Structure 1
Amino acid sequence: NLCAVTLNLKEEALYLLIYNPTEQERFSVVSVNVNSPRVKLLSPLGKPVTVQISAVWDGATTVSHEAYQISFVAHLPPLAIGVYQLLEDESSEAVLADYNIYVRNSRQEKPDKVFKIKEMQHSVDNIILENAYMKLWFSGMSGLLEKINTKKDGRNHQMKVEFAWYGTTSNRDKSGAYLFLPDGDAKPYIFTDPPTIRVAHGKIFSEVVCFFHHVTHTMRLYKVQGLEGQSLEVSNIVDIRGEYNRELAMRISSDINSQNRFYTDLNGYQIQPRLTLSKLPLQANIYPMTTMTYIQDVGVRLTLHSAQSLGVASLKNGQVEVIMDRRLMQDDNRGLGQGVQDNKITANVFRLLLERRQGTDVNEEKAPVSFPSLLSHMTSLFLNHPVIPMTANADSGIPELLNIFSPLMSSMPCDMHLVNLRTIQGKVDNKPSDEAALILHRKGFDCRFSNRDMGLLCSTTQGKIKVHKLFSKFRVESLIPSSLSLMHSPPDARNISEINMSSMEINTFRIRLR
């Protein structure tokens, strides 16, 4: 993880190799730490790239001058590696982020030598972040989100974020690793003093960071066109290691009329409708979320995309609640033999996506499954498969070999996911054979969401892919359907020139390239 490493620019020119692990072309924001605020970044074509310089912080209010974070938008073809050149440059045109820090006792210290930092008192006025797609209002006292305005339709949506505690029952059987036995409804997370709030305004992104005792909560808005700017990035760094039999939840309360219905995914594959029933105990209304959950009404859908598996519920109309962490002191007699006391400080990352729905189907509420939109699928893909930054020195030979390595001719269809492309082990000496396994999944999506003006760089093809149009540097010699495990071939298996898949299918092929 390059975010934990500070790159030294004084020694020699550095090359950043950015790898896109998805089958889709993308514009993604990449952040790395360097040891100087005077940097110049050149794209794979040798052109200067707009860079935002952000501070690296020691705690909530102290700037570290050992490192600086640079952020830029990388444009990458599918499965591609782009080579960016990183230089120290005294005449750097990189844009510095500005900071407003809301603290309890504002003290006017000497100004920072690099960044413009303004200390101020907490206020009843809202903190506002804005990009081309939305405008956000945050509380000037807590720093938490209160309202979203979507610019395409000009509508305001109440969107209140808060935190809450669950305790455990006073009965003999208490919550443990497998059982959730709360002592009633969650109690609000109360802070006696307003938290320190740090607001950053920059060219690539702006963010609001709130420092509570048990959680550091960040909401970041990317100021870029396309997919990255259409959802809100949420991060919670949770530390409940000093607590006793408590569980921390993040709750989002909206004005969406969800009527006790919400939707969660099943192992990241299909979405199932859930119904919150008051006749059931509270714990029976909590479901696992692997990649996403959403609530909706006639006009709006609110999706919470997750980069990690957590428990989720919608206990009231228009509400989504996620259990962030649990600390439980006793075994629940289900075989583990201990409580949950090995808590680590953990970052939980989400994307909050608000979409306009165009009409509904009367039979939709009775259907056993639901589907995300294409934009939602792509948001989940990019969240769970982030670009991977790597470094190379100038003498490593890599930059002479390539500026950009791009094995696919173009993005695959929007609803087609490349699950894996790997070599198959040979039968002799465990060496790789001359065949590879190509595993594809065709996703089901909801057609009642507009795909125009969404910044998607792909299209759909009704599940058809011409095999000879897959790879740019290789010729496909043969492509033969196989069983999912590659153990068997269907009786009518033969070399095919076109892949044709139905919605929600996963297919495996043996592929030979030349």
Structure 2
Amino acid sequence: MGHKACPAVKPGMLNVHLVPHTHDDVGWLKTVDQYFYGAKNDIQRAGVQYILDSVVDELVKDPARRFIYVETAFFWRWYREQDEATKATVQTLVNEGRLEFIGGGWSMNDEACAHYNAVIDQMSLGMRTLYDNFGTCGIPRVAWQIDPFGHTKEQVNLFAQMGFDGLFFARIDYDDRKKRIEDRNMEFVWQASHDQGSDGNLFTGVLYKHYSPPPGHCYDVNCNDQPIMDDSRLKDYNVNDKVADFIEFSKNKSKAYRSSHIMMTMGDDFNYQAAHMWFKNLDKLIKYVNARQAEGETVNLLYSTPSCYLKALHDSGLTWPSYQDDFVPYASDPWAYWTGYFTSRAAQKGYIRKSNNVCKQLTALFQTEDMTSHPNRVDILRNAMAINQHHDAVTGTEKQPVADDYVMRLSEGTESCQQAVNDAFSLAGLPKQSFCNQLNTSSCDVTEGHDQFVVTVYNPLPRAVGHWVRVPVTGLSATVADGDGTVVESQLSPIPEEVLRLPGRTSTATYELVFRADDLPPLGFRSYFVSVSASIAVSQHMHKAPRQAPLSNGHVTLDLDPASGRLARIRTDSADVAVNQTFMWYHGYGSDKNDPWEPQHRPTGAYVFNPVADAIPIQPKDVVILEGPLVKEIRHSFAETWVSQVTRLYTGEPYAEIEWQVGPIPTEDGVAKEVISRFTSDISSNDLFYTDSNGRQMMERQRDRRSSWPLNVTEPVSGNYYPVNSRIYIRDAASQLTVLSDRSQGGASLASGQLELMLHRRTVQDDGFGVGEPLNETAYGAGLVVRGRHWVLLSDPAEGARLHRDLAQRVFMAPQLSFSVAEDTTVEEWLSGPAPKQFTGLNALPVNVHLLTLETYKTGQLLIRLEHQYEAGEDPELSQPVEVNLQDLFTTLDITAVEEYGLSADRPLMEINRFDWNYNTTASRQGGKQEAGQRDTTADLFMVTLNPMEIHTFVADFQTL
């Protein structure tokens, strides 16, 4: 029924839209399963299955009642357990608009630490499930991000492309909220993308205080507020007080908003486990407040939903303010900047980032999965990844047992997908493959335990790339041959001592074999035959070089300070800049004795970053320079033995790679420590720097400034930290220094010419925001060790976008390695054997086009997303529109028909008709693309034109070639 089901409002009155809701975390203090079943109520009284049971029962009793539900992961689990009669009841409630799905994602994803690829996937999983089971009535019209700890511009742009009419959220900076209330700017049109024009706009509303009910009006089994007692014969009769209190709150709240409508969220975390308590009291509240209208009162209460509230705002015809920035970082008070979670649980963040699209691509190319089986092997990883985007998962703000559960789900999903990939490789003709999932510790059973093996390198990008392969070996020399029998130049690099000493590492490998896999075909692989020997080949080994000598690969030159051994200067073909890089650590507030604290000394914790003072340098101890034929390395050790790094220059590459290792961070002294890598240069960046938004748009940041209110600088360090999903850079007229990361991290520029990224953190006291324990990860009886990488680019600003966008995709969609044993086989026998030495699954796309998604949609159908990777004006050539022919993409599949869908892939694009809004704007450009649902349908359906930053989503019929 859509908006036809919305209740009538009363003109001339303040219409208060009561929205019964529950916020159900997909894991936080308890695991997903524990929350669903209501287990471990000693931790938190929460059982989602009881919420849905009791809400459905109560909605049936009165057609006026409404309820919204958000987390599809929970709803789908509950729904599939119901009998047919209950399913029919739910279908009726949905069709009549009495049970409305809001948000629609598998989880309510975090916005700061989630990559846009994963956001799209998890939203698509949830919204497709709802559409497939409930049709158009199941389509969420409103995005509902009430609990994430800050809000990003790219997230809103994605929501707009998914067809949402509006967005509501609760958490914004305390000062921002205060000013918006004063200015009545709590609702506005968010212009989330210049390149998308109005297609990237989304009406946005900020909830008044939080997503809780008004004070004194929580009627849940978990609440302590008094119920409405309406028997006037009893001494506890309280109707007049309850009504007067609610009316007063409503009128005060309405002063912050521009229309004659306000939305009142009537619910909270895991509310409605006994829904009759809520609805019985809400029925009374509506009855007694509205009865006052006969006495001249102008407040009108009604059961409603966010969609109906949004329609009322749209019907008002008002002109709204606009907004073009974002809402990070989030601070809940002057000393509580929620910027620690940008880095919390760094190992988990890295694991989530590595779980990319290889599995979906290969199983689509070779059609290995039964789409009628739920879940199939791909679904297991798909579900795990979607759960891990939750705002208490990828954020690292959950209890330790819950974090362990998230990682276990990813591990199970990865193993399941690797089985599916093996089937795909088998159809391609390859022997059974092994996957070394501990390469991050330089460990691999296949390459260590066998003298001969085959490495298969699969490239998930839509263009040919080169990739530096590093595999651990136990021999002292090696020979690598490609599929033509040509010997590939290789090198043996000694594994750093700090890696050899990793807690829990059982590997016997002491070297890593390094070689370059050139010209890896798009969506394809090349295989390499490796023979390892115990005899020494001196030419393959790295040798020490003078510490004072510059290190160069022909494109990048690194100069070291002769006294300290630290990086002193970077020189490239287009720039020459003094750059110093070092480790430092912040002493965070907190007491391991759990001492009381004042607000300004809130402990640094899972959410909050609250340093005592500026960062403390970690003094270098030793530096060793190693040179080889393919890669040159600077190995730094430090006085604090729990940090180390290797800086590498690969032949021909335009970047320097820094592999850092941090941990176990010592806290025996009772001090919380937050470790950073800081780059200090002579670039005149002043107070400006740039960070990505969810790995996509680039955002200009200005130190100690916010765009919508005068910032009161109470925390000069943590208040200037921003989420870095992919990259951060500074620049001046002559040079740009960019650092890319392999996972989400917090980053800042605290002085002109300076960049820093937080790598790892370990705290000693809970920060008081609910998780109830310090961030204190351990493994093998010690603090957790984390190993990761940064890539450093120095360039002319004119070529900066081209370099960092290309490298960002190569980092995010890095090739996947797999291995097969080749004992008792000569290279000649391998070359003449039946296994293919290479495979190409895709005809290469232009360099500015990314194949964002390839997966099986339904039996006989593919889901394809194509993305223009550049913003308008970033590059004179690559920012131009580009055409792609969908019929000329794949080598194993023939596309026979296509239909364009919305970004979430739940329904055809032509079914999406969003509200238009009147708004004031100061945008410099509005973009030129056609509105969603109004594109030219007379053109060749197989030809797609991609304008800057556009994503086009297609469902395609195909035949297997």
Q: TM-score range by the shorter chain?
A: 0.7 to 0.9
Q: Alpha carbon RMSD of aligned pairs, Å?
A: 3.0
Which residue is equivalent to 2:529?
Answer: 85
Aligned positions of 1:426-465 closer than 5 A: 433-445=859-871, 462-465=881-884
Q: 1:259 to 1:461 in 2, by over 3 A?
A: closer
Aligned positions of 1:124-203 closer than 5 A: 126-150=548-572, 152-153=573-574, 155-169=575-589, 172=598, 173-189=602-618, 191=619, 195-203=621-629
Q: 1:221 to 1:301 in 2, by over 3 A?
A: same
For residues 325-380 of structure 1, the C-alpha deviation after alignment (integer angstroms, 9 at most, x for no partner) is: 22211111111101111152001211000111349xxxxxxxxxxxx612211111
Which residue is equivalent to 1:414?
Answer: 847
Between structures 1 and 2, the one with greater strand share? 1
Q: 1:167 to 1:132 in 2, by over 3 A?
A: same
Paired residue for 1:496, among 938, 941, 945?
A: 941
Which residue is equivalent to 2:755?
Answer: 320
Say whether residues 1:377 and 2:805 are aligned partners: yes
Say whether residues 1:260 and 2:687 are aligned partners: yes
Distance 2:586 2:659 in 1: 21
Aligned positions of 1:343-382 closer than 5 A: 343-358=783-798, 373-382=801-810
For residues 69-111 of structure 1, the C-alpha deviation after alignment (integer angstroms, 9 at most, x for no partner) is: 21111020111111111224799978323333xxxxxxxxxxx
Letter of the aligned partner of 1:200 in structure 2?
L
How far did residue 445 of structure 1 move?
4.1
Which residue is equivalent to 1:50?
Answer: 489
Say whether residues 1:474 and 2:913 are aligned partners: no
SS of residue in 2 equivalent to 1:487? coil
Is the 8 Å Cα contact of residues 693 and 725 (structure 2) preserved in structure 1?
A: yes
Q: 1:237 to 1:13 in 2, by over 3 A?
A: closer
For residues 108-166 of structure 1, the C-alpha deviation after alignment (integer angstroms, 9 at most, x for no partner) is: xxxxxxxxxx8x9xxxx63421111121112345432111122x24x531000122221
Distance 2:751 2:879 in 1: 37
How far did residue 12 of structure 1 move?
6.8
Distance 1:94 1:86 in 2: 18
Count of residue pairs brought into register by the alignment: 455
For residues 158-195 of structure 1, the C-alpha deviation after alignment (integer angstroms, 9 at most, x for no partner) is: 00012222123485322111112221222322x3xx51
Distance 1:13 1:188 in 2: 45
Distance 1:483 1:317 in 2: 42
Letter of the aligned partner of 1:484 in structure 2?
L
Q: 1:480 to 1:301 in 2, by over 3 A?
A: same
Distance 1:513 1:383 in 2: 31
Distance 2:498 2:693 in 1: 38
Is the 8 Å Cα contact of residues 447 and 471 (structure 2) preserved in structure 1?
A: no
State which structure, 1 or 2, has the greater radius of gyration over its C-alpha atoms. Answer: 2
Aligned positions of 1:20-59 closer than 5 A: 20-59=459-498
Is the 8 Å Cα contact of residues 60 and 196 (structure 1) preserved in structure 2?
A: no
Distance 1:357 1:10 in 2: 47
How far did residue 14 of structure 1 move?
2.2
Between structures 1 and 2, the one with greater helix share? 2
Q: 1:11 to 1:322 in 2, by over 3 A?
A: closer
SS of residue in 2 equivalent to 1:195? strand
Which stretch shows the higher mean deviation, 39-48 or 389-398? 389-398
In structure 2, list runs of 5 or more residues that go unmatched: 1-435, 502-506, 591-596, 706-711, 778-782, 911-932
Q: 1:469 to 1:461 in 2, by over 3 A?
A: farther
For residues 25-44 of structure 1, the C-alpha deviation after alignment (integer angstroms, 9 at most, x for no partner) is: 11111111233233221112
Letter of the aligned partner of 2:905 in structure 1?
L
Which residue is equivalent to 2:633?
Answer: 207
Distance 1:466 1:90 in 2: 52
Q: 1:461 to 1:165 in 2, by over 3 A?
A: closer
Distance 1:5 1:60 in 2: 14
Letter of the aligned partner of 2:792 in structure 1?
L
Which residue is equivalent to 1:16?
Answer: 455
Is the 8 Å Cα contact of residues 863 and 956 (structure 2) preserved in structure 1?
A: yes
Distance 1:203 1:338 in 2: 49
Which residue is equivalent to 1:220?
Answer: 648
Is the 8 Å Cα contact of residues 10 and 88 (structure 1) preserved in structure 2?
A: no
Is the 8 Å Cα contact of residues 50 and 72 (structure 1) preserved in structure 2?
A: yes
SS of residue in 1 equivalent to 2:842? coil
Letter of the aligned partner of 1:179 in structure 2?
V
For residues 409-466 of structure 1, the C-alpha deviation after alignment (integer angstroms, 9 at most, x for no partner) is: 22x12221112101123xxxxxxx0001002221224756688xxxxxxx78723101
Say whether residues 1:274 and 2:689 are aligned partners: no
Distance 2:534 2:586 in 1: 53
Which stretch shows the higher mean deviation, 434-443 or 272-281? 272-281
Letter of the aligned partner of 1:267 in structure 2?
N
Is the 8 Å Cα contact of residues 128 and 136 (structure 1) preserved in structure 2?
A: yes
For residues 28-69 of structure 1, the C-alpha deviation after alignment (integer angstroms, 9 at most, x for no partner) is: 11111233233221112221111112223545899x985432
Distance 2:535 2:772 in 1: 62
Which residue is equivalent to 1:331?
Answer: 766
Which residue is equivalent to 1:486?
Answer: 905
Q: 1:84 to 1:461 in 2, by over 3 A?
A: farther
How far did residue 486 of structure 1 move?
2.3
SS of residue in 2 equivalent to 1:375? helix
Distance 2:854 2:500 in 1: 46
Which residue is equivalent to 2:58?
Answer: none
Which stretch shows the higher mean deviation, 243-252 or 90-99? 90-99
Letter of the aligned partner of 1:128 in structure 2?
P
In structure 1, list runs of 5 or more residues that go unmatched: 101-117, 360-371, 426-432, 452-458
Letter of the aligned partner of 1:303 in structure 2?
T
SS of residue in 1 equivalent to 2:803? helix
SS of residue in 2 equivalent to 1:4? coil
Q: 1:386 to 1:92 in 2, by over 3 A?
A: farther
Distance 2:808 2:458 in 1: 18
Is the 8 Å Cα contact of residues 9 and 87 (structure 1) preserved in structure 2?
A: no
What is the TM-score with the length of structure 1 in the denominator?
Answer: 0.81
Is the 8 Å Cα contact of residues 494 and 512 (structure 2) preserved in structure 1?
A: yes
How far did residue 314 of structure 1 move?
0.5
Identity %, equivalent residues = 24
Letter of the aligned partner of 2:835 in structure 1?
L
Distance 1:313 1:88 in 2: 45
Q: 1:163 to 1:419 in 2, by over 3 A?
A: same
